[in-house]
Chain A
Amino acid sequence: MSKLLFSRRMFLTGSAAGVSSLVLAGCDQFDFLGQTDNQVRNFIERANTLTYQSQRIIAGQQALARTYDASEIRQPQRPNGSTDPQTDAYLMVKANNFADYKLRITGLVENQLEFSLDQLRNMPAQSQITRHDCVEGWSCISKWTGTRLGPLLDMARPKANAHFLVYHCYDDMGGGLSGPEIYYESSDLVDGYHPQTILAYGLDDQTLPVSNGAPIRVRIERALGYKQAKYLHTIELVDSFASFGQGKGGYWEDHGYDWYGGI
């Protein structure tokens, strides 16, 4: 019996040691998950689609992001990502204080539209004090002022096959192997038409500063910071965003982040 007990103990200890040595060997065992083309990663990424669809179902389309009292604005909005774009196109439009700036709504719409900054500012304004949640984990409360995107989309009359909005930006992000990449983002029409989705030109009762996305930044209040595209110049309605960038729907999405961005 003692011999058998020993064997049993030996096997259990052996397997426990095997598993723990695997752990102690370092978790670089799981670094392959960082490769965006790895099959295991592609499989577990499907959980993000499940999250997106679940939240859309239980939240409905109109649930509002929490808004705060003015007393909660206790600090300037923290700039992150691009804070001073140096692309030629941006420098040109910034040079005369965005007087020649145009916001375009193009793609799968009946009416291609173009708005100057003054036109946008003269449209019905909406202000909201909301919490900006960065994917890094921090939050910052500010007052954003702009005009709702929904009515502009109605004016453009999206075609039946328009499923997504692609937000084209002026800034580029460096670091990619292929050199700088132009920032872009995308959302579904639910986020585009959401009552709190605005094209913001004001921050904390001031003109939106360059560091926070001047002249126009989209606010999609139920999503993380990287969905709030800064330095926006064109909103393109598409049936699929596969042909933009790496095809994942945004600069950060192309670098492995989830497209939904609501979690």
Chain B
Amino acid sequence: MAVMEQGAPAGFDPGAKTTAIALSLLGAVAGAAIVLLILFASDLAAGWGIDQALSTVPLSLLAAAIVFMLAGGLVALTRLGLGGVIVLTGALCWMAGCITYYSFGWLLAVPPVLALLGALTGMIGNDRAASRSDGRLLYRQDGVTRLTHWVWAVVMFFMLLSGLQIFEARPDLYIGQQSGFGFDNAILDIYAVNTPNGARGQTKLFGQTFDTTGVLGMSGDAANPDFTAFPAWATIPSYRDLATGRVVHFFFAWILVGTLFIWLVNALISGHLWRDIILKPRDIRELPRDIVDHVRLHFTHGKSYSPLQKLAYFGVLVIAFPLIILTGLAMSPGMDSTWPWLLEVFGGRQTARTIHFLTMSAFVLFFVVHIIMVLVANPINELRSMITGYYKTNIKRDSSEEMQ
């Protein structure tokens, strides 16, 4: 950390600094211009598809974003890495502002894109320079890996919440080709029921009934509860709207499949898949020790992943992603006619739906463990490696290993 914090280290590329600052300041100027346009020339803004009035929350977020972009651009004059982080915060603020603003025009995407490019140029330039003088700072994640990671973070958020919305239309899971109405093949059932103690939310799992009032089956305001399978905060939209849930789910499904394809091609060509994801005999041998190390919170930060990490990423990228996509397709009657084997492989449409749901649960579990591990290991270092690609190892690089 020490070296990279000392401004511009030896061998630093001055072009990166100029580009980073220019892009960040341009982002700030573009942002300010758009906000002024909305505030004082709403007719003109409406022509660009930005037609809503700017209320306090989005206005303050957008204003904060402009300040961050401006300040970050100036800080980058002396501290490039820190300036990049501030500009990145500005870009995130702008995106949060857009989400609360509800209006949509391509113009709104200009400031965060400029700021993101500026922030990344600055942060990557800084880390690249620092890496030359610090043998432990290694380039570990290539651009495609980093980009797809963050796209998936957003995509999986929308997939999960719109998926729960879709599930809410029929909050039961069955085994087989069809749903049992005249017979019972349900393994999960979420519902609300009237009891002597008033309405309760219940969940029936493998024949066992659990009271899940407040979370499943019945939730929200005690005086005016929602009798939906999931709480309003867990679904998109927050109210019952299957049609919109489907629109959101299928849009992000396409993004997921597209980025997964890009990731796969890159991982095959660059060797990332073979090098970092596929477990080798050596990884299997080291697995027990790695488990012990993890339990003791003693982490090895090397150039590649530890056996447990490989196992987790293998599970997500090679098993869970294809599984959740194929079981999703198996629920499409159109796809079932195209690829009839989908029904054979998964044992029927309703079983496929159940597997889809279970895979989603596995993703949620992975997400929780993933976040915990990032926090426990070293959040700054882990975040940096997923933003700039550079990762601080705790073993000194041996002379034979060349930096990329």
Contact = CB atoms under 8 A, between A and B. Distances in A.
Contacts of B79: 4
A51 to B, nearest CB: 6
Interface in A203-240: 221-224
B236 A27 contact: yes
Interface of B: 1-2, 5, 49, 79, 81-82, 85-86, 88-89, 92-93, 96, 99-100, 102-105, 157, 161, 166-167, 169-170, 172, 174, 177-183, 232-239, 241-244, 246-248, 250-251, 253-254, 331-338, 340, 343, 349-350, 353, 379-380, 383
Contact of A76 (B96, B170, B177, B182): B182
Given A66-B340, A223-B334, 11 more contacts: A7-B82, A8-B82, A11-B86, A28-B232, A29-B100, A44-B248, A47-B254, A50-B254, A75-B178, A75-B181, A256-B241
Interface stretch (A56-64, A154-162, A164-172): A56-64
Given A8-B82, A55-B338, A134-B170, A18 B93 contact: yes
A31 B239 contact: yes
Interface string A40-55: 1101110110110001
B51 to A, nearest CB: 8
Interface of A: 1, 4-5, 7-9, 11-12, 14-15, 18-19, 22-24, 26-34, 38-41, 43-45, 47-48, 50-51, 55, 58-59, 63-66, 68, 72, 74-76, 78, 131, 133-141, 221-224, 252, 255-258, 260, 262-263
Contacts of A139: 177-179, 349-350
A263 B105 CA distance: 29
Contact of A47 (B234, B236, B251, B334): B251
A137 B243 contact: no
Main secondary structure of the interface of B (DSSP, over half): helix
B205 to A, nearest CB: 18
**Candidate in B181, B238, B247, B353 with the most chain A CB atoms within 10 angstroms:** B247
A66 B161 CA distance: 31
B75 to A, nearest CB: 9
Contacts of A257: 242-243, 246
Given A15-B92, A22-B96, A75-B180, A33 B338 contact: no
Contact of A138 (B93, B179, B332, B340): B179
B238 A28 contact: yes
A137 B353 contact: yes
